Structure 1
Amino acid sequence: MIAPPSAVPPYWTRLGSFFLYPLSIEPLLACAAFGLLSALATMLFSPADLLLELLIFIATLRHGYRVLERTARGHLDDSPAFDAAAGGGKYRPYKQLVVIAVGLTICAYVAAIAGYHLAMVLFVLFALVLPANVMVLAVTDDLGESMSPGHLWALMYGIGRPYLGLCACLLLLTSSSGGLLKLLMPIVPQALVGLLAGFFGAYFIIVMFRLMGYALYQYHDTVGLAVDVDFERQTTIGTGEDPAKRRAAQTAALLKEGRYDEAIAVARAELGEQPGDPAGNLRLHRLLLAVPGQEKAMLAHAAGWLPGLLQAGRTHQAIEVIEAIWQQQADYLPAQGSCILPLAEAFLETRRPQGAARLIKGFDRRFPGHADTASIYVLGARLLIEHQRDEAQARRVLAAIRAHYPETPAAAEAARLNELLDRLAATPAV
């Protein structure tokens, strides 16, 4: 698959910037700290040195995930704004270790049962899928989604052939730290080897995560990722004169001081000036999610924002909003009946049948006589056929659609689905 052209310059034209990124202030200080801790580890006795090295690795991964997510969301100016609001994700390194452990365990099991060669094929496939796993985990913080074949394939297929180039770059970077350290060993004092090993290890991990974050940003439209900053705004973001940039920095400072109500007020003021601004709405939504006691305000904001997202065709972002709300309020459903059908269809298209079923359940009782009722019934029948394998119940639903809504497009779709079921039933079982 060849991904559609993007306004964002391809990642392979920006490779130099990824190597320069860890030399900016925040990541450079992090690399230096990890280097000093690694030097300290060489002075300890086992197993204390091994434990400290593991903690350093976990801390490096955590910083890398922050870099990846911030880059994927469009913060190419490296601003730390809103890191305070993004308090989640501290368990991502542990989830990553679980994924690696599961993958290696499966490979070892296959080696024991089916032989070395098949296990090596499986190991190569695991290595190819691992970058996709890292990227999905960075933006969802969900271990299950990051291991879901459907989500991983959707991301790899969305990026297309450039995903293989990304894997090749990451493979080269993986061995770069050890190679560089080996070159320097003859001229570096032994006392500095631990420090350089920690520094270079952190440096190349940050380069890799920056590269993956940028690749996600490049293909965010294709893979359905909502970003904070569109590429068209990048040139204004870095000037220091952009009001949205100043408000983001002001909000981050207020959050760090624990002045949550004032931070929310700043975000609301920004929306008051630009009600339809995608970045401003997303910023307020995340704030209301992160600050305790703002559940009602979050739902009120979502009620006004979701219809606009759907009208603008930003269904993937609408899905993210709904799923984020469900994590805090499992029984939430949009109050507007007109939102249910497009949202449920988007959930189904992105291989989230449970979410689609959750949205349409009881639709006819909540919105009696609604114009979308027949289409909702058709979607329910599709769920019964495609995901629950309950063809008998699906036939009853399809018959009811044709009986009660005979002149609608939904009745024609119901007839088509019924014919499909008849053909499937007539097909001899293999």
Structure 2
Amino acid sequence: MPPSPAIQPYWRRFGSFFLYPLSLEPLLACLGIGALAGLAGGVFFPANLVLQLVVLVATLRYGYKVLELTARGHLDEAPVLLHGGHGGKYLPYKQFVVIAIGLSLSAYAASIGGGHLAMVLLVLLGLLLPANTMLLALTNDLGESITPPRLWALIHRIGMPYLGLCACLLLLSSSSAVLLGWLVPVVPSAFVGALGGFLGAYFTVVMFRLMGYALYQYHDVLGVAVDVGFERQTAAAVRTDPATQRTAETATLIREGRFADAIALARSELAERPGDTTANLRLHRLLCAVPGEERTMLAHATEWLPALLRGGRERVAIDVVEAIWRHEPDYSPALGFFVLPLAQAFFDARRYDAAARLIKGFDRRFPGHADTPAVYLLGARLLIEHRRDETQARRVLAALREHYPESAAAAEAARLGELLDRLAAANAAGAC
């Protein structure tokens, strides 16, 4: 399925990916990483190994934030570090686990089928690595990112351009070493480590920017939620978009350290368009990022959350709830009918602990609520799919069928109970 013609394909914007790391914030990040790499080259073992690991993790974390922000449609030079989202906090370590799994599989293949089989498997894993990286950035879920159906779905929906993307990434991954080899003879030896760190960070940012843009290019067929759609990108190319202007003004104020002015500008935009999701999201992310604005963020988030749920924006709403929880762990929606759609959205996003946290004690907090049977059913699914506690799940399903026999959830509970029975019988037969 081809992407919308409203956005240029990645192969026509290839030059822009090389220019992106030269804008202010990415350039400062690359220079900082280069300086740290230079420092690592000047200290003794084992401090140098620790610093090299810090350099690698910092480079990947920044790259993942660039990927995530680009995939949302932010193609301007908005500050990466001040935007919300999981942003790659633990993604480098998950990436290390993925690589370790791949190498272990290749070693096992070599032990049973020889070097040729291992080489074939390495090539296959190399083709899957970009898809894995993009899924990690989108889901922040290690298990989902290595699930073959999810990998195949992403590759299949992008189609043949995915192979072109892999080829571009392969060339870029070796570019820093090649360029460093050319420059070493003309660079003082004391600066080689710093130059290597800078070039490694530069080309990593280029690669992650490219992958983020590919996700954005195909976000409509991949089902990726974005902040800036194709229509706004097209409009910005032919006329001045006031929202884009505000984004640029906000970025300038943040770079200058004028956080109060940036917040005031976001508030003025929200006053003009009080129901606009983008304006609310911009203010929310700014309040999350600026130190000392926690109470203001909580007030705005709790006020904005009902509008998000009424508008069917549950995926945005769950990010807002998690931002609230970071500062107010006991927070729960005051109205019961907001709990189920939020918990279901958490469940669909595979954030199972958050879903369980939201529905815990629902029947006591909202006695007699119409959503109680559906909440029980969701709780049973969490016990089955997340906790692997089928015994407790059966108790919940039995209570649901006993206390709410006429509800739609009771009928679904009966079907779920029958499925558990069939699975148990199949497992028992297999054991015999």
TM-score class, shorter-chain normalisation, is: 0.7 to 0.9
After TM superposition, the structure 1 = structure 2 runs for residues 8-407 of structure 1, keeping only pairs within 5 Å, are: 9=7, 11-18=9-16, 21-22=19-20, 25-26=23-24, 64-65=63-64, 67-77=66-76, 79=77, 81-83=78-80, 85-86=82-83, 96=92, 99-100=95-96, 103-104=99-100, 107=103, 111=107, 115=111, 117=115, 123-124=122-123, 127-132=126-131, 134-135=133-134, 145=140, 148-153=142-147, 156-157=151-152, 159-161=154-156, 162=158, 164-165=162-163, 166-178=165-177, 190-191=185-186, 204-220=203-219, 225-237=224-236, 241-407=240-406
Identity of aligned residues (%): 54
Taking the aligned partners of 1:377 and 1:35, their CA distance within structure 2 comes to: 50
Shift of 1:382: 1.7
Taking the aligned partners of 2:385 and 2:84, their CA distance within structure 1 comes to: 38
Does the CA contact (< 8 Å) of 2:64 and 2:91 recur in 1?
no
Structure 1 counterpart of 2:103, one-letter code = C
Shift of 1:214: 0.4
Taking the aligned partners of 1:429 and 1:315, their CA distance within structure 2 comes to: 42
Structure 1 residues 401 and 320, CA gap change in structure 2 (3 angstroms): same
Structure 1 residues 284 and 381, CA gap change in structure 2 (3 angstroms): same
Structure 1 residues 358 and 121, CA gap change in structure 2 (3 angstroms): farther
Structure 1 residues 99 and 200, CA gap change in structure 2 (3 angstroms): closer
Taking the aligned partners of 2:71 and 2:305, their CA distance within structure 1 comes to: 22
What's the CA shift string for 1:275-307, capped at 9, x where partnerless? Answer: 222221111111221223433332332233333
What's the CA shift string for 1:186-223, capped at 9, x where partnerless? Answer: xx994269699788656543431221110222344566
Does the CA contact (< 8 Å) of 1:74 and 1:227 recur in 2?
yes
CA RMSD of aligned residues (A): 4.5
Structure 1 residues 232 and 172, CA gap change in structure 2 (3 angstroms): same
Shift of 1:123: 4.7
Taking the aligned partners of 1:343 and 1:90, their CA distance within structure 2 comes to: 22
TM-score by length of 2: 0.75
Taking the aligned partners of 1:31 and 1:388, their CA distance within structure 2 comes to: 40
Taking the aligned partners of 1:315 and 1:158, their CA distance within structure 2 comes to: 23
Taking the aligned partners of 2:197 and 2:402, their CA distance within structure 1 comes to: 71
Does the CA contact (< 8 Å) of 2:343 and 2:359 recur in 1?
yes
What's the CA shift string for 1:230-254, capped at 9, x where partnerless? Answer: 2211134456733223332333344
Aligned residues: 416
Structure 2 counterpart of 1:14, one-letter code = R
SS in 2 for 1:160: helix
Taking the aligned partners of 1:136 and 1:335, their CA distance within structure 2 comes to: 34
Taking the aligned partners of 1:35 and 1:371, their CA distance within structure 2 comes to: 55
5+ long unaligned stretches in structure 1: none
Shift of 1:26: 4.2
Deviates more, 1:169-178 or 1:126-135: 126-135
Does the CA contact (< 8 Å) of 1:315 and 1:346 recur in 2?
yes
Structure 2 counterpart of 1:338, one-letter code = F
Taking the aligned partners of 2:361 and 2:62, their CA distance within structure 1 comes to: 44
Taking the aligned partners of 1:417 and 1:122, their CA distance within structure 2 comes to: 39
Taking the aligned partners of 2:121 and 2:388, their CA distance within structure 1 comes to: 31
Shift of 1:344: 1.5
Shift of 1:269: 1.8
Does the CA contact (< 8 Å) of 1:18 and 1:207 recur in 2?
no
Does the CA contact (< 8 Å) of 1:316 and 1:346 recur in 2?
yes
Does the CA contact (< 8 Å) of 1:225 and 1:317 recur in 2?
no
Taking the aligned partners of 2:339 and 2:43, their CA distance within structure 1 comes to: 61
Structure 2 counterpart of 1:96, one-letter code = P
Shift of 1:368: 1.8
Structure 1 residues 327 and 157, CA gap change in structure 2 (3 angstroms): farther
Taking the aligned partners of 2:54 and 2:357, their CA distance within structure 1 comes to: 41
Aligned to 1:429: 429
SS in 2 for 1:429: helix
Does the CA contact (< 8 Å) of 1:401 and 1:414 recur in 2?
yes
Structure 1 residues 297 and 74, CA gap change in structure 2 (3 angstroms): same
Does the CA contact (< 8 Å) of 1:398 and 1:415 recur in 2?
yes
SS in 1 for 2:369: coil
Shift of 1:126: 5.2
Shift of 1:354: 1.5
Shift of 1:15: 4.8
Taking the aligned partners of 1:334 and 1:295, their CA distance within structure 2 comes to: 18
Structure 2 counterpart of 1:387, one-letter code = H
Does the CA contact (< 8 Å) of 1:224 and 1:316 recur in 2?
no
Deviates more, 1:155-164 or 1:212-221: 155-164
Shift of 1:34: 9.1
Does the CA contact (< 8 Å) of 1:72 and 1:214 recur in 2?
yes
Taking the aligned partners of 1:284 and 1:342, their CA distance within structure 2 comes to: 24
Residue 419 of structure 1 pairs with residue 418 of structure 2: yes
Structure 1 counterpart of 2:151, one-letter code = M
